[in-house]
Amino acid sequence: MKLLVGVLFSFFLALPSAVARGGERGGTLSEYENDRSNVATTKARVLLEDEKSPNKIARARGYMTNSDLEKAVKDFGRRCSNISRIYSIGESVNGVPLWVIEISDKPGEEEGEPAFKYIGNVHGDEPVGRELLIRLANWICDNHLKDPLVRSIVENSHLHILPSINPDGFALQRRGNAKNIDLNRDFPDQFFPLNDDIHTRQPETAAVMKWLSEIRFTGSATLHGGALVANYPWDGTSDGRKHYYSCPDDDTFRFLASTYSQSHRNMSLSTEFPGGITNGAFWYPIYGAMQDWNYIHAGCFELTLEVSDDKWPMIDEIPTLWEHNKMSLLNLAASVLKTGVHGRIFASDSGTPLPGFITIKGINYTVNAGRAFGDYHRLLVPGERYEVMATMPGYKSKMTTISLGETAMTVDFILDPETTTKRYLWRTSGCNCGGSSSSSKFGFEMFWTLHFEVYVVIIILLFWFLIRRRLKSNLSNDKQHAARSSLLPA
């Protein structure tokens, strides 16, 4: 019965999820309902439309095919090999590699630096992002020695660019992937268990999730088309209704979204979206979205960017769209360097980096420090005071108050080890180590620490018992001696 209710509820939720985030208009609920019927009509039309219809051929003219894109990525890799590496995070349903360009002065190496990612072409029929992202990579390659902002991105961060997460959808000129699944509804959802079955997850989605388990991204954005707005979490609401639904970092997300819209040629001038930004659920709620999953499960602040009113404009509009979005793309990627509090966490006894946690008083969100360098990168709105706390199991937490200016701030934490019983109890509960020798050594340490006081008491009691016994025996000897003396003749 529970299962049946779940299935029915999921079906009910899946209906609005067919609506575009990054496509059809948002706005009022009635518009949103209309969009649902529009989408249904569009779907029927797509089914009737031949993939090689003159309309589709004309639309694709001038755009990179998937083969062209692969060649562009590899050409870039050869041309800019000193600051990049090319890798694939997996394959689409039809076996197209999901190529990534990593840009950094030490590509492929782990450093104590923040990482940012751009993902384009989430929806197959929104190809502007893949064109812009190839231009972005090449522009960085051509300008990193002369442009201070670009140089800073290359030297102090790792920028990963995935131009197309949905090459099959692009080839088919449709929103979903080869199985017609909307990839921006395919992630596990925080409110409703729509996509929790790992066996039904699309390979493109699974590839992104695996990617985020391997690289600790601080910030991110996906590129869509069909509107002009920077969209931020939450995308979904707990009650399934359309209204503003803020995540714990609402202020920071508004700041990041504004960074994009204000740097854009005309996004912030929008009459539909004040300042060119919107809360996702306020626009229209969706479930299984990539940005909510990034923030919740990967510690990554992700935006959904609608970069062009026209989903699939004529190719000769791309240079203009690039000019409109260029500074936005650069400034957002640089936001992981230019804002927030950054630093490292160390152990005071050994000096080793600690993979601890950073929390901000009043914000229910935790940012993890890296395992290799103990580095953390916590994005925050500039010009505010914050109480920053570093914690690590087995160590005493430390808190400090900072006044964040207009630029990023560096704060390192040196944590002292706990020396009480509590330390050992805490470390044991957080320890996943399987090695028997270290476990037994650890167990002995804990056992000894836990029972030391008991041993001292037992030893004192033993001494007391022995002394008392000795005293008693002396006393009785004295008495016997006295008795014997009294029996002796005077």
Q: How far is the CB of 398 from Zn ion (least distance, A)?
A: 43
DSSP 230-287: EEES--S-TTS--S----TTHHHHHHHHHHHHHHSSSGGG-SSSGGGEEEHHHH---S
Residue 289 or 408: which CB sits closer to Zn ion? 289
Q: Which listed range, 7-15, 85-93, 142-150, 221-229, lies at the site for Zn ion (CB under 5 A)?
A: 221-229
Contact 245, 285 (CB under 8 A): yes
Quote the CA–CA distance of 335 and 230 in Å, as a whole number.
15
Contact 228, 266 (CB under 8 A): yes
Residue 207 or 286: which CB sits closer to Zn ion? 286
Tell me the site size for Zn ion, rule CB under 5 A. 4
Cα radius of gyration rounded to whole Å, the chain: 31
Q: How far is the CB of 126 from Zn ion (least distance, A)?
A: 5
Helix/strand/coil (H, E, C) string of 271-335?
CCCHHHEEEHHHHCCCCCCHHHHHHHHCCCEEEEEEEECCCCCCHHHHHHHHHHHHHHHHHHHHH
Q: What are the tokens at 69?
A: 């894109």
Stretch 77-116: interaction string toward Zn ion, x if CB under 5 A: ----------------------------------------
Q: How far is the CB of 125 from Zn ion (least distance, A)?
A: 8
Q: What are the tokens at 306?
A: 């609608």
Quote the CA–CA distance of 89 and 100 in Å, as a whole number.
7
Residue 174 or 324: which CB sits closer to Zn ion? 174
Q: Provide the terminal-to-terminal Cα distance of the chain, rounded to the nearest Å.
A: 105
Q: Which listed range, 22-30, 49-57, 243-251, 462-470, lies at the site for Zn ion (CB under 5 A)?
A: 22-30
Residue 86 or 286: which CB sits closer to Zn ion? 286
Tell me if 126 contacts Zn ion by CB under 5 A.
yes
Q: How far is the CB of 127 from Zn ion (least distance, A)?
A: 11
Q: How far is the CB of 60 from Zn ion (least distance, A)?
A: 18
Residue 311 or 378: which CB sits closer to Zn ion? 311
Q: Which listed range, 9-17, 83-91, 123-131, 322-330, lies at the site for Zn ion (CB under 5 A)?
A: 123-131
Q: Which listed range, 118-126, 253-261, 338-346, 354-362, lies at the site for Zn ion (CB under 5 A)?
A: 118-126
Q: How far is the CB of 201 from Zn ion (least distance, A)?
A: 19
Quote the CA–CA distance of 390 and 342 in Å, as a whole number.
12
Residue 126 or 168: which CB sits closer to Zn ion? 126
Q: Which of 123, 185, 264, 324 binds Zn ion (CB under 5 A)?
A: 123
Q: Which of 185, 224, 324, 378 binds Zn ion (CB under 5 A)?
A: 224
Tokens 């793309």 locate to 329
Residue 165 or 298: which CB sits closer to Zn ion? 165
Question: Could you confirm whether 323 is annotated as catalytic?
Answer: no
Catalytic: which of 102, 126, 306, 418? 306
- Number of C-beta neighbours around residue 479 at 10 A: 10
Q: How far is the CB of 434 from Zn ion (least distance, A)?
A: 44
Structure letter (DSSP) for residue 189: P
Point out the residue whose Cβ comes nearest to Zn ion.
22
Bridge-partner residues for 376, per DSSP? 343
Quote the CA–CA distance of 292 and 231 in Å, as a whole number.
11
- What's the longest Cα–Cα distance across the chain? 142
Q: Which listed range, 21-29, 335-343, 444-452, 480-488, lies at the site for Zn ion (CB under 5 A)?
A: 21-29
Q: How far is the CB of 123 from Zn ion (least distance, A)?
A: 4
Q: Which listed range, 50-58, 81-89, 122-130, 480-488, lies at the site for Zn ion (CB under 5 A)?
A: 122-130
Q: Which of 22, 163, 169, 340 binds Zn ion (CB under 5 A)?
A: 22
Quote the CA–CA distance of 271 and 402 in Å, as a whole number.
37
**Helices then strands (H, E): number in the chain?**
14, 16
Residue 21 or 377: which CB sits closer to Zn ion? 21
Catalogue the active-site residues.
Answer: 306
Contact residues for Zn ion, defined by CB under 5 A: 22, 123, 126, 224
